[in-house]
């Protein structure tokens, strides 16, 4: 495990307004090929600065051998222990769970500093279907926006088209859009970015 000083400061000047977000791939030696495209999409939704910075820790300590999955709450706790004031979106390619649920697509600290997202169950091949990278990327973007919305104080939305609508199954992710509804956009504008 690396020290907290392993993460370099952002290479660009901080904008006066907007989100300061780090996308943090966990358990990977390099960023995933789609993380830069995701960063651009998150910039378009939330504004501000988005940087990709691999985690200085791995997945091993969060593996539960009895479930054969990784504990999302433990990983989120390790992510939130990273220094700095920026918001953090951890990304993994392994199956995540929380103790009360069979699996989760992601987990966030409501109105907090961070969230974590798994791409594992967003891949068609997990369900015995043909690989579809475009659909997988769309699902990842929706879930990233959804979890960051929670971290910025948004709760689940009743509008079935809003990206903040709850999704228990991957089909429900496909049914909703990648956009925030007008009500959630208004609430988001009221959230301090510091």
180 Cβ neighbours under 8 A, 6+ residues apart: 45, 145, 149, 154, 162, 163, 164, 188
Separation of alpha carbons 139 and 144, rounded Å: 8
147 is catalytic: yes
**Distances, alpha carbon 112 to alpha carbons 3, 51, 115, in Å:** 23, 18, 8
What Rg value do the Cα atoms of the chain yield, rounded? 16
- Residue among 16, 36, 60, 147 flagged as catalytic: 147
Q: Which segments of 3-158 does DSSP mark as H helices, in order?
A: 35-46, 72-80, 133-151
- Answer for the pair 61, 82: CB distance below 8 angstroms, yes or no: no
Catalytic positions, written as ranges = 147
């Amino acid at each position: 495990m690396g020290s907290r000083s392993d993460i370099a400061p952002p290479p660009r000047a901080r904008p006066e307004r907007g989100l300061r977000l780090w996308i943090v791939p966990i358990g990977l030696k390099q960023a995933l090929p789609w993380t830069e495209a995701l960063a651009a999409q998150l910039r378009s939704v939330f504004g501000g600065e988005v940087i990709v910075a691999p985690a200085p820790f791995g997945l091993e300590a969060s593996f539960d051998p009895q479930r054969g999955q990784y504990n999302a709450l433990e990983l989120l706790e390790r992510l939130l222990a990273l220094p700095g004031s920026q918001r953090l979106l951890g990304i993994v390619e392994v199956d995540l769970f929380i103790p009360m649920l069979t699996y989760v697509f992601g987990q966030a600290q409501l109105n907090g500093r961070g969230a974590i997202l798994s791409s594992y169950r967003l891949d068609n091949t997990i369900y015995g279907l043909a690989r579809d990278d475009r659909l997988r990327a769309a699902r990842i973007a929706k879930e990233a926006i959804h979890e960051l919305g929670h971290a910025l104080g948004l709760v689940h939305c009743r509008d079935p088209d809003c990206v903040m609508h709850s999704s228990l199954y991957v089909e429900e992710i496909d049914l909703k859009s990648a956009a925030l509804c007008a009500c959630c956009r208004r609430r988001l504008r009221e959230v301090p970015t510091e």
